[in-house]
């Protein structure tokens, strides 16, 4: 293997862990591929862990992370799954980030949250691969998170799989929650998604599938200026993973390596869980 692909996954609601979906099938396929290609470890940026401070980023170094509990999922779906923190690779990530000028430290207290372990369980149901989690920075600067991905891009040549887990359209304030709250039906679609959700979902797909290399970085960071961005993301946390992916998959050497939408699951009427992969095992 000379280089790994990069995934931008939309993890959706907690129920995506317990319910079958096209997205879940795709996550499993990506996990199977990673195992088949002998991936050494997983490096993830999620949406639910951020740190405070200018230029600050943290890396998971908790040797025994617990799991933050999830609602609307039977505990049998996650309680017994053993997480495998990769302390050696955490150190590698810290060194790479420090070399690129980030104020980076390990965090040995972090319990892992469903944004990361939902994806790990779905991709690798039999056994968690060695995994490192990279925090967000609470200023939610798109270019900062893109640079974090760029700093870790060399790990793609060392057999690591880089994943951003956030959301393409993810505005909890504009979801229609009643079918899930009343009937545990997260996929109910009593009305079509609203136009802002459709519009932004398309903009994300166009940006990722129509650009490569540095143009991909420009296109994805620019999405935060899209007229429907704030409708699609009331908060910025779930879109930072896309910036990380743009950094990890958008160098000059990635020119010609276009992303593709491989699966998509609408939840709660207006939340679009699009699953993208940029590049392929080569
Ligand atoms: Fe989330």
Helix (H, G, I), strand (E, B) or coil at 266: strand
2 CA → ligand 1 middle, Å:
32
Distance CA 84, CA 116 (A): 12
237 CA → ligand 1 middle, Å:
8
| Dihedrals phi, psi of 234, to nearest 5 degrees | -65, -30
Q: What is the pLDDT of residue 1?
A: 67
Question: Which ranges of the chain have pLDDT less than 70?
Answer: 1
Pairing of strands 271-278, 259-267: antiparallel
Helix (H, G, I), strand (E, B) or coil at 136: strand
Specify the fold of 6-278: Protocatechuate 4,5-dioxygenase; Chain B (3.40.830)
Read off the tokens for 161: 């799989």
Instruction: Report DSSP state, residue 31.
Output: H
Read off the tokens for 222: 């620019």
1 CA → ligand 1 middle, Å:
31
Distance CA 95, CA 105 (A): 10
Q: What is the pLDDT of residue 16?
A: 98
243 CA → ligand 1 middle, Å:
16
Residue range 154-168, pLDDT digits in tens: 999 999 999 999 999
Q: What is the pLDDT of residue 189?
A: 96
Taking ligand 1, which is a single-atom ion, which protein residues have CB atoms under 5 Å away? 47, 115
Read off the tokens for 47: 């949406």
């Amino acid at each position: 293997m000379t280089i790994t692909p990069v995934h931008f996954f939309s993890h959706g609601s907690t129920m995506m862990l317990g319910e079958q979906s096209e997205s879940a099938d795709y996550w499993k396929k990506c996990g199977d591929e990673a195992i088949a290609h002998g991936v050494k470890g997983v490096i993830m940026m999620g949406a639910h862990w951020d740190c405070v401070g200018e230029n600050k980023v943290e890396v998971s170094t908790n040797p025994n992370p617990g799991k933050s509990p999830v609602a609307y999922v039977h505990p049998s779906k996650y309680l017994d799954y053993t997480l495998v923190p990769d302390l050696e690779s955490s150190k590698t990530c810290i060194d790479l980030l420090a070399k690129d000028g980030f104020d980076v430290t390990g965090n040995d207290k972090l319990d892992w949250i469903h944004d990361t372990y939902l994806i790990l369980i779905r991709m690798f149901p039999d056994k968690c691969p060695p995994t490192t989690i990279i925090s967000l920075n609470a200023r939610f600067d798109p270019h900062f998170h893109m640079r974090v991905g760029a700093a870790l891009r060399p790990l793609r040549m060392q057999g690591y799989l880089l994943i951003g887990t956030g959301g393409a359209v993810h505005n909890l304030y504009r979801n229609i929650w009643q079918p899930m709250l009343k009937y545990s039906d997260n996929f109910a679609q009593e009305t079509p998604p609203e136009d802002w959700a459709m519009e932004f979902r398309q903009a994300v797909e166009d940006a990722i599938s129509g650009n490569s290399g540095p143009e991909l970085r420009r296109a994805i960071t620019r999405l935060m200026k899209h007229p429907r961005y704030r409708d699609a993301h009331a908060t910025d946390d779930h879109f930072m993973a896309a910036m990380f992916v743009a950094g990890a998959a958008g160098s000059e050497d990635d020119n010609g390596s276009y992303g593709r939408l491989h699966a998509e699951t609408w939840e709660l009427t207006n939340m679009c869980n699009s699953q993208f992969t940029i590049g392929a095992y080569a």
